[in-house]
């Protein structure tokens, strides 16, 4: 497994699991959320354009996100493999990612979905907001982000399931327990492709 996605609702542990799994597999971790926040913090043109969307819990428009991902996947550390966290979130972005990868003569090996219930996610995200002081984690914004996930991103999961690339992993439990499930899922599916 060298080219993977990790998908799940906000607060499902994608970032933590992506870091652990990418280190275990020796592939580049690529988090669109991290890249967006860095750009907002540094007040780059991308960050200024993305800030209003992020603070409202909305998805950043595809043209901004797609350009960022295309650039990042062209960097040297991503050529031999990557674990992408936070993209694609819409079916249009799936098609863009297919195009980006085809341009590099690549395709996805696996799509991991971390599953979790909405009320647990709201609880987790409110706790994270208190601990980290994140402006994008109010209850209203969290519920809006979850509604967007259910309304748009679930179609992405359907697309990857139809291709036979989707593996669902229970995202509830201690971080180490979820990490074991994620690693087991990648190991069990490595022989399929």
Distance CA 139, CA 143 (A): 6
To the question of whether residue 128 is assigned a binding role by annotation, the answer is yes
DSSP string, 99-111: HHHHHTT----EE
To the question of whether residue 17 is assigned a binding role by annotation, the answer is no
Annotated catalytic residue, options 20, 72, 124, 145: 145
Distance CA 150, CA 34 (A): 22
Distance CA 78, CA 123 (A): 34
Annotated catalytic residue, options 3, 20, 72, 89: 89
User: Helix crossing, 154-162 with 91-103: angle to 10°?
Assistant: 50
To the question of whether residue 145 is assigned a binding role by annotation, the answer is yes
To the question of whether residue 130 is assigned a binding role by annotation, the answer is no
Whether 159 is catalytic is no
To the question of whether residue 173 is assigned a binding role by annotation, the answer is yes
To the question of whether residue 14 is assigned a binding role by annotation, the answer is yes
Annotated catalytic residue, options 70, 128, 159, 168: 128
Whether 41 is catalytic is no
To the question of whether residue 134 is assigned a binding role by annotation, the answer is yes
Cα 48 versus chain centre, distance: 21
To the question of whether residue 90 is assigned a binding role by annotation, the answer is no
To the question of whether residue 74 is assigned a binding role by annotation, the answer is no
Annotated catalytic residue, options 2, 70, 134, 181: 134
Whether 43 is catalytic is no
Annotated catalytic residue, options 14, 20, 72, 124: 14
CB 10 within 8 Å of CB 149 = yes
To the question of whether residue 89 is assigned a binding role by annotation, the answer is yes
Task: Residue 58: name the closest of 121, 140, 133, 157 by CA.
Answer: 140
* End-to-end alpha carbon distance in the chain: 9
- Residue ranges of the binding site for ATP: 11-16, 128, 173
The residues carrying an active-site annotation are 14, 89, 128, 134, 145
- Residue ranges of the binding site: 11-16, 32, 37, 58-60, 86-89, 93, 128, 134, 145, 173
- Residue ranges of the binding site for AMP: 32, 37, 58-60, 86-89, 93, 134, 145
């Amino acid at each position: 497994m060298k080219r993977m996605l990790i998908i799940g609702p906000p607060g499902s542990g994608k970032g933590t699991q992506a870091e652990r799994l990418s280190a275990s597999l020796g592939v580049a971790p690529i988090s669109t959320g991290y890249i967006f926040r860095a750009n907002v913090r540094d007040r780059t043109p991308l960050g200024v354009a993305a800030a209003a969307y992020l603070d409202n819990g909305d998805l950043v428009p595809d043209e901004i996100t797609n350009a960022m991902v295309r650039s990042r996947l062209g960097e040297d550390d991503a050529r031999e493999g990557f674990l992408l966290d936070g993209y694609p979130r819409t079916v249009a972005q799936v098609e863009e990612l297919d195009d980006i990868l085809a341009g590099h003569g690549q395709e996805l090996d696996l799509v991991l979905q971390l599953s979790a219930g909405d009320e647990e996610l709201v609880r987790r995200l409110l706790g994270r907001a208190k601990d980290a002081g994140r402006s994008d984690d109010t209850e209203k914004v969290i519920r809006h982000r979850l509604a967007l996930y259910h309304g748009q991103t679930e179609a992405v999961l359907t697309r990857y399931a139809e291709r036979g690339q989707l593996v669902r992993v229970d995202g509830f439990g201690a971080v180490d327990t979820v990490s074991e499930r994620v690693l087991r899922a990648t190991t069990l599916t490595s022989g399929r492709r």
